[in-house]
Amino acid sequence: SDVLIKESSSKPEGLKTAIGSLVEKLIENNQYEPDHPADIADAAVLMAADGYGAGKIVGFEGTTEVVIRTSDSQRSFLFTKDPIPSDLVKITTIQFSSVSEERDMRH
């Protein structure tokens, strides 16, 4: 059997979700148990991250659109099709630094 859960919002503030908070707490303590069950969409994303299915989150960090897929460990960002090389270097450096810090990649 398959289950497909899709949430979307046309509101500028996006969806109300606890996924960011849940992930942060799980990173701090992999034995973390929330006080109350996660809503179904958040639970589905967490299960997909554990390898039970696949999940995709599309959102914004400031004005930059960010896509996160549970099927891979990469983070993508969108940029113009014909970039000015120096602008691409700047945004790529920002993205790499962000991932390095988030994943504690001091090496």
pLDDT tens-place string over residues 15-56: 888 988 998 898 888 788 899 999 999 999 888 877 788 888
pLDDT of amino acid 74: 65
Q: Mean pLDDT in the chain?
A: 84
Cβ-based neighbours of 56, under 8 Å, separated by 6 or more: 67, 68, 69, 70
90 or 29, higher pLDDT: 90
List, for residues 36-46, the tens digit of each pLDDT value.
999 999 999 88
pLDDT over 70 at 107, yes or no: no
Using CA atoms, how far apart are residues 75 and 99, in angstroms rounded to an integer?
Answer: 8
2-14 pLDDT, tens digit per residue, is 888 889 888 888 8
pLDDT level of residue 75 (50, 70, 90 thresholds) = confident
